[in-house]
Amino acid sequence: MTTAGLEGIIAGRTGIATVGKKGAGLTYRGYRIEDLAEHATFEEVAYLLIYNRLPTPGQLTAYKKRLQGLQGLPEALRTVLEQIPASAHPMDVLRTGCSMLGTLEPDGQGGRTEASIADRLIASFGSMLLYWYRFKNRGERIDTVSGEDTVAGHFLRMLTGAEPDPLKKRALDVSLILYAEHEFNASTFTARVVTSTLADIYAAITAAIGALRGPLHGGANEAAMELVSQFETPATAEKGIMQMLEGRRLIMGFGHRVYKNGDPRSDIIKSWAKKLSEAAGDTTLFDVSERIEQVIMREKKLFPNLDFFAATAYHMCGIPTSMFTPVFVISRTSGWAAHIIEQHNDNRLIRPLGEYTGPDPRPFVPLAERS
């Protein structure tokens, strides 16, 4: 018997996260997401995931300094980024950048470990993306050593070239915490499958970026933005969504394979989306989104997942829509790395079976006899 989409199948053991577990909810290495989002920073969470413990104050200072020191890009990588067309999707820029970096700074050489490469990628994915973006859009060759000591601050400064707004910086930081890890989701499982063949961390993360790009997974935050930005008022949104539901269309940013009674990350990002909208004096997008949430609950009993209100939050942070999923990559690299390390430490090739539904054995027809 097969189960479509491996729904409900336990596909491996992990000590990294619980997702929707009774009595626990979403936890990273035993810490509740609500506590992490309230009290921690993304750098603490990345350290927790990759190094399996919360950093002490001294360790955190050293870790932030280390990430800051890894923001620069080798010349050969900058040259490759300059060749990628302006029309490319930023996810494909990161996929290519990850792959290229793997040829320049290979795993297992120069004292590199999976953990140190994860740090390098977390620190430099924003650099790759925005080096390419600013070169293609404004003809600038920016210095990607931003001087910012947080991943969120680095991204925002690279995006605009200006001092990041503290509220936007913290909102982005919280979103990175929320996006960091989520157990055996499609991209993480992809990373584990690749790792199980004993391929290196660059191969695993490049493949994971490919899996995250699709709109049923990470790409949903971009698709949600395209949806909500079509409507100018909550009333037109309600009308439009009702028509979509009549046409049995998927509403991006709603539903979840595991959470059937709500995604605990959604309320947190929603509160940030609201805070940012109020601070900007423009709650249109938030009001439209909230109405869509009410309509989908009333009509389909479906909850928003993290991607839905992340769209409003990211838009209010000034992040271009096509960069929403790449921002997710920067954060999720910490979770992917934790899983790659865990898989490696207790590895067995992941190779399930398929239930055959093709033709019975039949005689081969030589080419000359086929019509």
Pick the catalytic residue from 107, 165, 217, 287: 217
Instruction: Give the nearest distance from C-beta 306 to ligand COA in angstroms.
Output: 6
In the complex with ligand COA, the residue whose CB is nearer, 133 or 231, is 231
Q: Hey, what are 90's tokens?
A: 């930023």
Q: 3-state class of 354 per DSSP?
A: coil
Instruction: Give the nearest distance from C-beta 251 to ligand COA in angstroms.
Output: 4
- Cβ density class 276-302: b for 16+ within 10 Å, e for less: bbeebeebebbbbbbbbbebbeeeeeb
| CB-CB contact of 188 with 336 (8 Å) | yes
DSSP per-residue string spanning 147-188:
--SSHHHHHHHHHHSSPPPHHHHHHHHHHHHHHS--SS-HHH
Instruction: Give the nearest distance from C-beta 214 to ligand COA in angstroms.
Output: 9
In the complex with ligand COA, the residue whose CB is nearer, 62 or 216, is 216
Instruction: Give the nearest distance from C-beta 243 to ligand COA in angstroms.
Output: 13
Q: Distance between CA atoms of 65 and 86, rounded to whole angstroms? A: 32
Please state, as a whole number, how many other Cβ atoms lie within 10 Å of the Cβ of residue 264. 18
Q: Hey, what are 279's tokens?
A: 């601070």
In the complex with ligand COA, the residue whose CB is nearer, 129 or 220, is 220
Instruction: Give the nearest distance from C-beta 148 to ligand COA in angstroms.
Output: 29
Q: Distance between CA atoms of 195 and 204, rounded to whole angstroms? A: 6
Q: Distance between CA atoms of 200 and 333, rounded to whole angstroms? A: 14
Q: Distance between CA atoms of 53 and 195, rounded to whole angstroms? A: 23
In the complex with ligand COA, the residue whose CB is nearer, 21 or 300, is 300
DSSP H or E run through 21? strand 17-21
Pick the catalytic residue from 119, 200, 263, 307: 307
Query: First vs last Cα of the chain: how many Å apart?
Result: 37
Q: Which residue sits closest to ligand COA, CB atoms considered? A: 255
Of residues 77, 169, 65, the one with CA closest to residue 131: 77
What residues line the site for ligand COA (CB under 6 A)?
Answer: 5, 216, 220, 250-257, 300, 302, 305, 307
In the complex with ligand COA, the residue whose CB is nearer, 52 or 229, is 229
Pick the catalytic residue from 154, 182, 256, 315: 256
Instruction: Give the nearest distance from C-beta 334 to ligand COA in angstroms.
Output: 18
To the query of whether residue 217 is one of the catalytic residues in this protein, the response is yes
Instruction: Give the nearest distance from C-beta 238 to ligand COA in angstroms.
Output: 15
To the query of whether residue 256 is one of the catalytic residues in this protein, the response is yes
DSSP H or E run through 17? strand 17-21
Q: Distance between CA atoms of 371 and 344, rounded to whole angstroms? A: 51
In the complex with ligand COA, the residue whose CB is nearer, 220 or 228, is 220
In the complex with ligand COA, the residue whose CB is nearer, 123 or 225, is 225
Catalytic center residues: 217, 256, 307
